[in-house]
Amino acid sequence: MYAPTIAFLFVRFQLIVLRHFVFSSAYHKSEDEIRAEYEIVQKAKMNPQFFAPLYEKYYDSIFIYISRRIDDEELTADMTAQVFYKCLRSLEKYDFQGVPFSAWLFRIAINEINQFFKQQKNKERSVSLKEKHINILFEELQHHDVKDKHDIVIKLLEQLDSDDVQFVELRFFEGRSFKEIGFLLGLTEVNAKVKTYRILAKLKEYAEKLLR
């Protein structure tokens, strides 16, 4: 089900309510899993054939991540392939920074998405939600008994620019930690947290006006 298009100055967003699609963050791994994955990466640096398990393991996650923002299957497939191509091409530069290897892939994906919309200003950027995401956001906004939450979310997101919406997506719709958000967006963990709560404060202010 597709909600009405949300217009921004430079980027348009389309809100998609996904009722049956499950997505789990690939960041939440044990220390042993991270270590084993790092060993595979080191082997892949020596021989590209060892990159295949990483490609097979994360292809679906990266595809889903991009498709939630692009909403075009063919284009998503092309961009996903580009993410893995760029990853493999620059694999020698990869250094462990306290987050799983998958975080690096998602960071490349975010850069590809942002670059695409800078070049294609006539394209629609999507924000994908499940009902639980809407409820989580309203819990954060400290508004519980609200009717027409879906419509209110659209109006709230209209008040934010595309960069701010990205923070809302990562934190409240995908459950990323501030450390993850910081790595993905090139910020420190502290700056990611401060930025996110500033955006949340703006949303609370907008919500108070809408719900009077």
State pLDDT tens for residues 165-185: 899 999 988 888 898 899 999
Structural domains of the chain sorted by starting position, each given as residue range(s) with its CATH number in brackets: 2-210 (1.10.1740.10)
Q: What is the pLDDT of residues 101-131, one digit of tens each?
A: 888 899 999 999 999 988 987 887 788 777 8
Average pLDDT over residues 145-163: 80
Decide: residue 62, CB within 10 A, 0-12 exposed, 13-18 middle, 19+ buried.
Answer: buried
Round to whole Å and give the CA distance between 189 and 196. 11
pTM listed for this prediction: 0.76
Q: What is the pLDDT of residues 31-74, one digit of tens each?
A: 777 778 888 888 998 998 899 999 999 999 999 999 988 888 99
> How is the beta sheet containing 2-6 ordered, strand by strand?
2-6, 12-17, 124-129
Running DSSP on this structure, what letter comes out for residue 174?
S
The confidence band for 144, taking pLDDT boundaries of 50, 70 and 90, is low
Round to whole Å and give the CA distance between 51 and 84. 10
* 29 three-state secondary structure: coil
pLDDT of residue 4: 34
pLDDT of residue 58: 92
